[in-house]
Structure 1
């Protein structure tokens, strides 16, 4: 049986830092493309500069290192068991992340309160995840299909806007190469 480290290892920290920065860069690229293609340019460029910054703050960094390692190991078939107390820290960090980042529907009392900029950043976040995991040709469409109407109840107008932004971003990404 593998010994569970009490603190994140250097390997875990290094992987987390690289993976999180790459995710933020993918989101920023998508936001920048949509900044040029929509009327929300300045706001989207600002979101690109600040996306997921809370993951490097004291409330989230160490628990997110554990969470990232948990998912990395799950994907490789080598499951990780958290040390005592870490699962609770991870749960608190995830709740904190959702409560301070407007691009998550959970930030809002009602996801239909999300602004167009919030929704665009959400689409860019989903796109970045699809790209990272090689899903749906790097499109957020699969994330939207499994989330909207299941976990997140958007009204028809929000749903149409999200899918329109996915289509626009997919075209922008294809054109950018």
Structure 2
């Protein structure tokens, strides 16, 4: 089941990136090939870019691929690493959980406003931010559980499995 969800998330990310690339190519051909820029391509490219970045951060890019500052992590022992892992995930997950209701309210509120050219409701443009917050909460809970069991405390904070 988890494997299927991961495959679906990857497929959606690839589809979004492919759509972004296609819109970008249409934009280039229209602007430089026919000297007729299309305003909808600019707008759709921006919307797709927001989706690609936020969706990838939420569902595709594994935690070990995110930027880490591990100088202190590598200098301390296992007990301190366990504390740091729990404390860090409590902060990140807690802040994401705290922000989630207000962010959802705002994203839902933005349903009344649309993009200038295509009229896409801004709710749909910024919805992946809510998905990112939910993913942060889930990852933090998972990481806290693993840290309590003494897992994922290797050098550089990168899990081996």
- Scaled by the length of structure 2, what TM-score is found? 0.30
Whose helix fraction is larger, Structure 1's or Structure 2's? 2
Higher Cα radius of gyration: 2
